[in-house]
């Protein structure tokens, strides 16, 4: 527990001092990179909630990333740029779609669940491509970033960075609390032994569906952040490669651990940046690395830090 607390203090301090240091070194690129890492860490944390603790292998989690981003984009397209409205819509829309997808897919399990969540996410991806009004395959530029009545300017790289940092830490903490609440116990119990949790009087379906919706909603928020981060949205955000990336972040970092998804997101994105620096064909190296890490590196990064 003490090591865990130390770990989080180090992470918080390091991430807090990064922008001034990057600014002093004249490397604003790193502020941008780490901000992206933190946004995807939020998405990965939401996936870990259902995947790591709930045992629901959702291969379509990027759908909510796309939904959140498109909520911001589409509202902006029609001139509604207030973040006070955009972000709740992003969260609400993702939660609603998660409710619909979850209601169908949680009735199944195992391979079916994986294939169905993937198929529904892909459906939304193709829907995004076929919406010519909103740029279709090419996506569209945001008219403006979300406005928060002058409270915070998302156009300012550093303030947006700190907003992402705070949100990430809050969401990781809240998820941690949820996992250790009565609700979280039921979710984990249903994962480890469904028959037994039924026998003591819990119907896992409702609990699982609730967790699925919560995870979708959090990921929708990450999508809203991502749209503001890139200032540009494409259907690619909801693609299955993005879903696979999120899943890999969770596994690499360590399933069912508070810090795992964040560590996974950071390491995967850093590895991508390094490989991109080496060669245009970085995926030919990343692919086998992924294979090897899954086969040989079972415990994940969080196991090293005991966090």
Partner 1 sequence: MTWALVFEQLLNGLQYGVMLFLMAAGLTLVLGIMNLVNLAHGALYMVGAYLAVAGTQWTGSYLAGVALGFAGTLLVGMALEVITMRPLYGRDHLDQVLVTFGLILFFNELVAIIWGRGSLYTSLPSWLQGHIDLFTGSRYPVYRMVVLAVGLAVAVLLWYVVTRTRLGMLIRAGAANRTMVAALGVNIRLLYTVVFGFGAALAGLAGLMAGPIYAVQPGMGELILIQVFVVIVIGGIGSIRGALVGAIIVGVVDTLGRAFLRPVLATAISATAADAAGPALASMLIYLLMAVVLALKPAGLFQSR
Question: With binding defined as CB under 8 A, does residue 262 bind partner 1?
Answer: no
Question: With binding defined as CB under 8 A, does residue 271 bind partner 1?
Answer: no
Q: Are strands 232-233 and 140-141 parallel, antiparallel or unpaired?
A: antiparallel
* Residue pair 55/114 in contact by the 8 Å Cβ criterion: no
Exposed/middle/buried for 232, CB within 10 Å: 0-12, 13-18, 19+?
middle
Distance of closest approach, residue 192 Cβ to partner 1, in angstroms: 13
Q: Which of 49, 53, 59, 161 binds partner 1 (CB under 8 A)?
A: 59
Question: With binding defined as CB under 8 A, does residue 96 bind partner 1?
Answer: no
Candidates 62-70, 142-150, 179-187, 244-252: pick the segment binding partner 1 (CB under 8 A).
Answer: 244-252
Question: With binding defined as CB under 8 A, does residue 130 bind partner 1?
Answer: yes
Q: What's phi and psi for 141, nearest 5 deg? A: -85, 140
Question: With binding defined as CB under 8 A, does residue 177 bind partner 1?
Answer: no
Question: With binding defined as CB under 8 A, does residue 278 bind partner 1?
Answer: no
Distance of closest approach, residue 245 Cβ to partner 1, in angstroms: 9
CB burial of 144-182 (b: ≥16 within 10 Å; e: otherwise) equals: ebbbeeeeeebeebbebbebbbebbbebbeebbeebeee
Q: Which of 183, 192, 203, 195 is nearest to 52 (CA)?
A: 192
Question: With binding defined as CB under 8 A, does residue 174 bind partner 1?
Answer: no
Q: Which of 12, 16, 108, 144 binds partner 1 (CB under 8 A)?
A: 108
Question: With binding defined as CB under 8 A, does residue 114 bind partner 1?
Answer: yes
DSSP 3-state percent helix, strand, coil across the chain (nearest 5): 75, 0, 20
Q: Which of 237, 251, 262, 269 binds partner 1 (CB under 8 A)?
A: 251
Distance of closest approach, residue 117 Cβ to partner 1, in angstroms: 10
Q: Which of residues 131-150 bind partner 1 (CB under 8 A)?
A: 131-133
Q: What's phi and psi for 156, nearest 5 deg? A: -85, 115
**CA–CA gap between residue 253 and residue 283 (Å, rounded):** 20
Question: With binding defined as CB under 8 A, does residue 51 bind partner 1?
Answer: yes
Instruction: Identify the sign of the CA torsion 85, 40, 175, 238.
Output: positive
Distance of closest approach, residue 110 Cβ to partner 1, in angstroms: 6
Interface residues toward partner 1, by CB under 8 A = 51, 57, 59, 104-105, 107-108, 110-112, 114-116, 118-120, 122-123, 126-127, 129-133, 240-241, 244, 247-248, 251, 281-284, 286-291, 294-295
């Amino acid at each position: 527990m003490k090591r865990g607390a130390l770990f989080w203090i180090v992470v918080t301090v390091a991430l807090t001092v990064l922008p001034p240091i990057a600014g002093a070194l004249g490397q604003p690129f790193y502020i941008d990179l780490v901000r992206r890492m933190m946004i995807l860490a939020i998405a990965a944390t939401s996936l870990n909630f259902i995947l790591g603790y709930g045992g629901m292998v959702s291969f379509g989690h990027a759908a909510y990333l796309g939904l959140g981003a498109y909520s911001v984009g589409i509202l902006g397209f029609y001139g509604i740029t207030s973040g006070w409205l955009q972000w709740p819509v992003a969260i609400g829309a993702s939660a609603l779609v998660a409710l619909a997808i979850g209601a169908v897919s949680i009735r199944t399990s195992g391979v079916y669940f994986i294939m169905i969540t993937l198929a529904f996410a892909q459906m939304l991806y193709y829907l995004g491509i076929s919406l010519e009004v909103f740029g279709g395959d090419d996506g569209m530029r945001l008219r403006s970033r979300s406005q928060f009545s002058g409270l915070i300017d998302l156009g300012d790289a550093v303030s947006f960075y700190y907003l992402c940092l705070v949100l990430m830490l809050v969401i990781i903490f809240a998820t941690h609390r949820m996992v250790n609440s009565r609700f979280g116990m039921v979710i984990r119990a249903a994962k480890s032994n469904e028959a037994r949790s039924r026998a003591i009087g819990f119907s896992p379906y409702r609990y699982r569906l609730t967790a699925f919706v919560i995870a979708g909603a959090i990921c929708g928020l990450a999508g809203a952040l991502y749209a503001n981060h890139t200032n540009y949205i494409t259907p690619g955000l909801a693609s299955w490669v993005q879903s696979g990336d999120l899943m890999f972040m969770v596994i690499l970092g360590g399933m069912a651990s508070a810090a795992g998804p964040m560590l996974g997101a950071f390491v995967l994105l850093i590895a991508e940046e390094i490989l991109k620096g080496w060669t245009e064909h970085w995926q030919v190296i990343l692919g086998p690395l992924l294979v090897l890490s899954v086969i040989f590196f079972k415990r994940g990064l969080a196991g090293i830090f005991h966090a």
